[in-house]
Amino acid sequence: MKKTISIIFIIFLLMPAFLLITPFNNALAVQPDEILSDSKLEKRAREISKGLRCLVCQNQSIDDSNADLAKDLRIIVRERLLVGDSDKQVEEYLIDRYGNYVLLEPPVNSQTMILWLGPLIILSFGMVAVAIWYRGIKKTNNKNSDDRNEDDNKNDINIVKLNADEQLRLDTILKE
Amino acid sequence: MTPELGHYALILALFVAFFQSTIPMWGAARNNIYAMNFAGHAAMAQFLCLLVAFASLTQAFVTSDFSVANVVANSHSLQPVLYKVSAVWGNHEGSLLLWVVILAGFGALVHFFGGNLPPNLKSRTLAVQAMIAVGFLLFLLLTSNPFARLDPAPFEGRSLNPLLQDPGLAFHPPMLYIGYVGLSIAYSFAVAALIEGKVDAAWARWVRPWTLLAWSFLTAGIMLGSWWAYYELGWGGFWYWDPVENASFMPWLVATALLHSAIVVEKRDTLKTWTILLAIIAFSLSLIGTFLVRSGILTSVHAFANDPERGVFILLLLVVAIGGSLTLYAWRAPQLKGGGLFRPISREGGLILNNLLLTSACATVFLGTLYPLFVEVLGGDRVSVGAPYFNATFVPLIIPLLLALVVGPKLAWKRGDIWAAMAGLRLAFFITVIISLGVGILIWQKSAVAIIGLSIALLMMLNSVGDIYTRAGFRKSGFIKGLKRLIRLPRAFWGMTLAHLGVAFLVAGATGATLLTYEKIVALKPGQVTQLSYFNIRFDGANDVTGPNYTALRGHYSAISNDGEIIAKFTPERRRYVGGGQETTEAGIKSTFWDDIYVVIGDRGEDGSYVARLYHKPLAPWLWWGSFLMVSGGFISLSDRSLRVGAPKRIGDNAVIKNKIRNA
Amino acid sequence: MRSLRLYAILPLVLFIGLTAYFLAGLWGAQNKGNRFIPSAMVNKPVPDFNLPSFNQNFPALATADLKGKTQIVNFFASWCVPCLAEHPLITKLSKRDDVEINGIAYSDTGKNIAKWLNKHGNPYDRVGVDAGRRIGIDWGVTGVPETYIINKGGVIIYKHGGPLRIDVINDEIIPLLEEQAE
């Protein structure tokens, strides 16, 4: 029973991994006259637009913005799709003109490695730091209690001396 | 005349702050009770001076005194009074004045409520507080004088940015600043403790209420800003990971971690060096946020001033405040004595996990926000870091945190039994799985990921309910007795439970608003009806209206039931303001407990139709309910007596009593 | 405890690094202004285009015109206030022998451009009207004004976003023009 609970719990913890592969959804700024009649192409257009930055706004996608430039870029995305470009080619078309800055999601390349790996490195560093710290206080506490035991036992006549058997049982209980 | 009075009061405050930062510090080192007590009185005096300065600037705005440059830049004679007042802090100089007023206010509060603080700690804390004040007052007086005059005075002002002429945004800065600036108390306490060389359970007990106060206001401030973006910007978005948004979010994350780690210091006398560091970092992030927003280093629609000269001054403040405190930390922290041992699976372990995840999340936001700057400085290709990055990196850190939130409080101190803790969750888990399956079948096509968010939120809610049920003892003592006990439960418990419940609602709301929105964009002629998920929306026409300082196109829409009865009415607007000619959209929103219907009117077509953008946002209101619960929880906890009583005064610290005993 | 001392110093070290970046960032912010303006088209050949003029009498602008001599292309508009502010500087540049000044009117009509140039003076050798903003996108334009320098071989070698200033002209543009003249 404990095993089943732990397995379910671990699956629960792993669910975040899904987030990395499924894109998020967001609002539209598309006008009715921009919408393509081919719904598959339109869906692609919306997905691509959500990843393109509105260059005259703050942190909004072209899908999300009223600006003229955003509208122009939305129309261009659809035009390129109609001409037969792949998603990547549509992005390339805009990157050629505006650089990587036009992508809302930074590209994954050697330059941006630190950005993408950063959070993982930070978390690992934190975990290691906690582990080292914990070992440290374990050592200090054991040392302190050893020192204290020696002094106390000498002066305190009320300390019950455990025989070997009882000591063994005590140790086992404490270890749990 | 009065602007001069305000200016003078500002200068006076600077002098008071200067003495407040030096005399008590000397007094604490020499155990001179008179020098130490000076701190409290100076704090009150400083606060009074700054109140006068603030009142004087407010008066200049309310009376439309256009001889003051600040009033010209941010007000207009036709502006409604509420916005004349909110314009006081709706600009760089005025908001900085608000900053120092609140800073001094907190100092005065420490004097007022800190009667049982040991004098050495109290005087040092107020001295550090005053040092910060000196820095900011110098900044104000030397580079950003709110009382600068114009001669000759123009006839009319340029009016406040219409985006800011809004009730939500009027209150957003003061709340936010009380939060930001309130963290300075935790910082001052930490620095004072480092100087003294002592951190103990009593220190943690004093720090917690102040951090809780700042945290509650910070939560409220962030929520107001987010809510404003939701109904004002016309897209139904509530968080854009804009650098300035992140600048307020990072201190919030660290403050939350601080709240929780202070508990460990208080109960178990361990995690001291870490908690001190958190207290320093929380306020440091507030300062860094101030720097980012006002220096022109990051481009953002929020950014006030784009003045690199001012930026250098603030950077100097940062170096002294943060560099100084971290140097003190590097020197003194290793000398702080550590505390007790505990098993990894225990309440302490849970709280450490909480801290680990929160600080990692904060570091991630920090990395994402500043990465474009780093790249630019190093000469690389400019990249932009937006929502996709943060969704991919921040959210996976939060999910384990939420699960820890459910299990952690059930663990005992020192040594916890995780199986017993999880066994307590059996029923909640079971119900969650069943409901998730049901909901999942409904929504998996729209968004499978949403199921995760909703399940976790549901588990958290059921857990909270279960906690209340268990603590009240309904099972053991029956309904009436249980109810009685419920009312008498410690407020700290209610505070925690409500705040955690608030988080659950927030998570559910964020999931619904982000992933489960149904949208429709359609051009409608008057009288036409269109379907939006399971609602029918009818366009009733549009007309022009005039407001106090704007003209607008107003659309009329109704949500009607299948029988033709009107369930709700909407009046979205597109406004154009006098003065600047700026355009804003006002969405028409109908909120029920469960969802929002959101209507925005667009352009007119040639055939007399108007474009309408319609959204159905399930669970969106829970974003605000959740935030409200969190803030309430914070305030309820604050009202708990045990948090305010603090530890008893130690006779040994009081030099006068020492003298008395010696001379008796 | 030595290891604790190491950890205690870490935050300070990180902060010092951060301050260095902030200082460098402030230095850069001096010249940047408010908005980041991408310049991905620098070192690429002039895009293919052929734009009409604002009336029949004045020369239009096409890709073929932008070679043989150092060229400046200035994106402007009649509705653009900073464009008016930089207009005297453009006029000054137009008096130079080592460069030809061309204008592209962004998101504007021939009629408005004619009026504007009539009122404020016409420094351009050629003007193209990009009413649909599409050519602007090919050049990587995000707003007006933006100014490009093209070398004799038809390659874009410089871009300045936002209105020109006297220091930009003296420190960046004129040296570049002189260099290209050799």
State pLDDT tens for residues C77-112.
Answer: 998 888 999 999 999 999 998 899 999 999 999 999
CA distances from B389 to A55, B243, B395 (A): 17, 13, 10
Of B295, B323, B334, the CB nearest to C15: B323
Answer yes or no: do B306 and C33 touch at CB < 8 A. Answer: yes
- By CA distance, what is B285's nearest residue in C? C15
Paired strand residues for C155: C45
Please tell me if residue C1 touches chain A, with a CB cutoff of 8 Å.
yes
Paired strand residues for C126: C102
Which residues of chain B are within 8 Å of residue C32 when distances are taken between CB atoms? 296
- Does B173 have pLDDT greater than 80? yes
pLDDT tens per residue, range B472-528: 887 777 888 888 888 888 888 999 999 999 999 999 999 999 999 988 888 899 999
- By CA distance, what is A56's nearest residue in B? B301
Tell me if A167 sits within 8 A of A160, measured CB to CB.
no
CA angle (A8 as vertex; A6, A9 as ends), nearest 5: 60
Instruction: Please return the burial class of B417, using the count of CB atoms within 10 Å of its CB with bins 0-12, 13-18 and 19+.
Output: middle
Tell me if C155 sits within 8 A of C35, measured CB to CB.
no
Q: DSSP E strands: which ranges in B525-594? A: 529-532, 535-546, 550-560, 566-570, 573-577, 583-586, 588-591
Match 């439309």 to its residue by tokens: B64
Q: CA of C125 to nearest chain B CA: how many angstroms apart?
A: 34
Q: Is the alpha carbon torsion for A15, A20, A22, A26 positive or negative? A: positive
- Chains in touch with A (3+ beta-carbon pairs under 8 Å) read B, C
Q: CA of A56 to nearest chain C CA: how many angstroms apart?
A: 7
Tell me if C121 sits within 8 A of C93, measured CB to CB.
no
| Mean pLDDT calculated for residue range B124-147 | 94
CA distances from B119 to B21, B279, B366, C100 (A): 15, 21, 37, 76
Tell me what pLDDT residue A27 has.
Answer: 36
Q: What is the mean pLDDT of each run of 10 residues along chain A (176 residues)?
A: 59 50 43 79 88 82 83 92 92 91 82 88 92 84 64 47 62 63
Answer yes or no: do B376 and C34 touch at CB < 8 A. Answer: no
- Dist. CA B560–CA B649, nearest whole Å: 66
pLDDT tens per residue, range B77-95: 888 889 899 999 988 899 9
3-state secondary structure of B519: strand
| Mean pLDDT calculated for residue range B316-334 | 93
- By CA distance, what is A103's nearest residue in C? C38
| Mean pLDDT calculated for residue range B345-365 | 94
- Chains in touch with C (3+ beta-carbon pairs under 8 Å) read A, B
Answer yes or no: do B315 and C28 touch at CB < 8 A. Answer: no
Question: Using 50, 70 and 90 to split pLDDT, how confident is the model at C61?
Answer: very high
Please compute Rg for chain C using Cα positions.
Answer: 21
Please tell me if residue A95 touches chain C, with a CB cutoff of 8 Å.
yes
pLDDT tens per residue, range C110-157: 999 999 999 999 999 999 999 989 999 999 998 889 999 999 999 999
Instruction: Please return the burial class of B194, using the count of CB atoms within 10 Å of its CB with bins 0-12, 13-18 and 19+.
Output: buried
pLDDT tens per residue, range B55-85: 999 999 999 889 899 998 888 888 888 989 9
Please tell me if residue A24 touches chain B, with a CB cutoff of 8 Å.
yes
Residue B571 phi/psi, 5° resolution?
-135, 75
**Element containing residue B617 per DSSP (H, E):** strand B610-618
Q: CA of A7 to nearest chain C CA: how many angstroms apart?
A: 36
- Dist. CA B276–CA B190, nearest whole Å: 5
Please tell me if residue A58 touches chain B, with a CB cutoff of 8 Å.
yes
- Dist. CA B213–CA B639, nearest whole Å: 10
Say what percent of chain B tops pLDDT 70: 94
- Does C34 have pLDDT greater than 60? no
Alpha carbon B468 to chain centroid distance? Answer: 27
Q: At what angle do helices C2-32 and B324-332 cross, to 10 degrees?
A: 170
Tell me what pLDDT residue B655 has.
Answer: 53
Which residues of chain B are within 8 Å of residue A57 when distances are taken between CB atoms? 301
Which residues of chain A are within 8 Å of residue B344 when distances are taken between CB atoms? 134
| Mean pLDDT calculated for residue range B338-349 | 85
Please tell me if residue C81 touches chain B, with a CB cutoff of 8 Å.
no
Which residues of chain C are within 8 Å of residue A138 when distances are taken between CB atoms? none
Tell me what pLDDT residue B161 has.
Answer: 78
- Dist. CA B120–CA B117, nearest whole Å: 8
Residue spans of alpha helices (H) in chain A: 2-14, 16-21, 39-50, 68-83, 87-98, 113-155, 164-175
Instruction: Please return the burial class of B443, using the count of CB atoms within 10 Å of its CB with bins 0-12, 13-18 and 19+.
Output: middle
Answer yes or no: do C29 and B333 touch at CB < 8 A. Answer: no
Tell me what pLDDT residue B471 has.
Answer: 84
Tell me what pLDDT residue C137 has.
Answer: 93
Q: At what angle do helices C2-32 and B347-377 cross, to 10 degrees?
A: 40
Please tell me if residue C6 touches chain B, with a CB cutoff of 8 Å.
no
Of A15, A24, A29, the CB nearest to B235: A29
Residue spans of alpha helices (H) in B378-425: 387-393, 395-407, 418-423
Question: Using 50, 70 and 90 to split pLDDT, how confident is the model at B431?
Answer: very high
Which residues of chain B are within 8 Å of residue A27 when distances are taken between CB atoms? 235-237, 517, 519, 615
Tell me if B276 sits within 8 A of B333, measured CB to CB.
yes
Instruction: Please return the burial class of B252, using the count of CB atoms within 10 Å of its CB with bins 0-12, 13-18 and 19+.
Output: buried
Tell which residue, C24, A13, C25, has the closest CA to residue B407. A13
- Dist. CA B142–CA B14, nearest whole Å: 12
- Does B408 have pLDDT greater than 80? yes
Tell me if B128 sits within 8 A of B191, measured CB to CB.
yes
Tell me what pLDDT residue B578 has.
Answer: 73
Which residues of chain A are within 8 Å of residue C38 when distances are taken between CB atoms? 55, 98-99, 101-102
DSSP B434-461: HHHHHHHHHHTTT-SHHHHHHHHHHHHH
Average pLDDT of the residues of chain B: 88
Tell me what pLDDT residue B649 has.
Answer: 45
pLDDT tens per residue, range B637-661: 998 876 555 444 444 444 555 555 5
3-state secondary structure of A133: helix
Least confident among A89-98, B330-339, B631-640: B330-339
Q: CA of B206 to nearest chain A CA: how many angstroms apart?
A: 25
Tell me what pLDDT residue A23 has.
Answer: 38
Of A68, A97, A102, the CB nearest to C41: A97
Q: Torsion-angle region of residue B644: left (phi > 0), alpha (psi -120 to 50) or beta?
A: alpha
Tell me what pLDDT residue A144 has.
Answer: 67
Say what percent of chain B tops pLDDT 90: 54
Answer yes or no: do A56 and C40 touch at CB < 8 A. Answer: no
Q: Name the residue type at position B441.
A: I
Question: Using 50, 70 and 90 to split pLDDT, how confident is the model at B129?
Answer: very high
Residue B597 phi/psi, 5° resolution?
-110, 135
